Chain A
Amino acid sequence: MPPHEYGDLPVHKMAPGEFNFQYGPSTGGLMESVGITLTTPGELINSVAVDFSFKSRKLNLRGKSIRDALLTVERINGFHAASNSLAFLMSVEDALGMEVSEEVQKARILQLELERIRSHLEVIKRLCEPAGFGVPVNQLGYLREKISRIISRAAGHRFFFGANAPGYCSVSGSGINEKLREAGKEFQRIYAGLLESKIFLNRLQNNGLTRDNFLTGPAARASGLRYDSRIDSATLPYGDTPFYPVIREEKDCFGRFNVRGEEILNSIDIIASLGNIKETGKPSLQEGDGQGCARLESPQGDIFYYAGLNNGLIEDIWHVSPGTLNIRAFQESMKGNIFTDFHFNWESFGIWISEVGVVFQ
Chain B
Amino acid sequence: MSNFWFGEGIRKGRKTEKFPFAQPDDPPARPSGLEGSGEPYCPTEAIKNGKWDQGKCIFCRLCEPEYQPTGRQDIFSVKKTEPALKKSFYIYKLDSGTCGACNVELGTIFDPQFDANRLNIFATNSPRHADAIVIMGILAEGMREALKNAYEAMPEPKLIIALGACAISGGILGDSPMVREDYHVEIAGCPPSPYTILEALARARGD
Contact = CB atoms under 8 A, between A and B. Distances in A.
Interface of A: 25-29, 31-33, 53-59, 67-68, 71-72, 75-81, 122, 133, 135-136, 138-139, 141-142, 144-145, 148-149, 152, 156-159, 161-162, 189-190, 193, 196-199, 352-355, 357
Interface of B: 1, 4-6, 8-9, 12, 15, 26, 28-30, 43, 58-62, 92-105, 107-108, 110-113, 123-126, 137-138, 140-143, 146-147, 150, 171-174, 190-191, 193-194
B61 A162 contact: yes
B61 A27 contact: no
Interface centre among B4, B28, B100, B174 (most CB of A within 10 A): B100
Contact of B140 (A55, A71, A135, A139): A55
Nearest to A352: B100
Contacts of B125: 27-29
B104 A138 contact: no
Contact of A145 (B1, B8, B111, B146): B111
A28 B93 contact: yes
A136 B1 CA distance: 13
A193 B8 contact: yes
A67 B61 CA distance: 11
User: Which 7 A-B residue pairings sit nearest by Cβ, starting from the closest?
Assistant: A78-B101, A28-B125, A141-B111, A78-B99, A54-B142, A162-B61, A75-B99
A139 B10 CA distance: 12
B153 to A, nearest CB: 10
Contacts of A189: 8
Contact of B103 (A31, A145, A161, A193): A31
A55 B97 CA distance: 5
B26 A149 contact: yes
Contacts of B97: 33, 55, 57
Contact of A53 (B92, B99, B142): B142
B15 A79 contact: no
A138 B138 contact: no
Contacts of B62: 67, 162
A142 B125 CA distance: 23
Contacts of A354: 98-100
Contact of A78 (B98, B123, B146): B98
B95 A33 contact: yes
12 contacts: A28-B124, A32-B103, A33-B94, A33-B97, A55-B96, A78-B101, A78-B104, A135-B9, A158-B191, A159-B191, A198-B1, A354-B98
Contacts of B194: 145
Contacts of A196: 1, 4
A157 B59 contact: yes
A171 B138 CA distance: 29
A79 B60 contact: no
A58 B112 contact: no
B101 to A, nearest CB: 3
B136 to A, nearest CB: 10
A58 B143 CA distance: 13
B32 to A, nearest CB: 11
A199 B2 CA distance: 10
Nearest to A148: B108
Contacts of A54: 140, 142-143, 146
A28 B142 contact: no
Given A141-B110, A156-B29, A161-B59, A122 B4 contact: no
Nearest to B108: A145
B5 A26 contact: no
A279 to B, nearest CB: 13
